[in-house]
Amino acid sequence: MVAQSPVADLVQEEEFPGPKVSTPEEVLRYSIDTGGGIYHAIGSAAMGPNDDDVVDSRLRVRGVSGLRVIDASVFRQQPSGNTAAPTMALAWRAADLIEQGE
């Protein structure tokens, strides 16, 4: 998307990882070589409907009373942009759930 007009007209150059890093394999190699990545870490406590999913739809950790996870680790998939806004929306939803006693 960034390589297409009109956005491309506003970009001078890509700083990192660089235009030569575009496939999943190249991203992995870049991460191994530099210690950095392109994506934000998410999903380690993914929310879902199944008993083996870490967090339920109310953000409660299954099997642990009184504990919720309210960060990007509950996202099952990488958001299409920065994780800040989706995480803030998650926190607002969590505040509503907690306030309602759910």
List all residues 6 or more positions away from 16 whose beta carbon is below 8 Å from its beta carbon: 34, 36
> Which of the residues are catalytic?
40
- Going from the C-alpha of 6 to that of each of 2, 12, 100, the distances in angstroms are 9, 13, 45
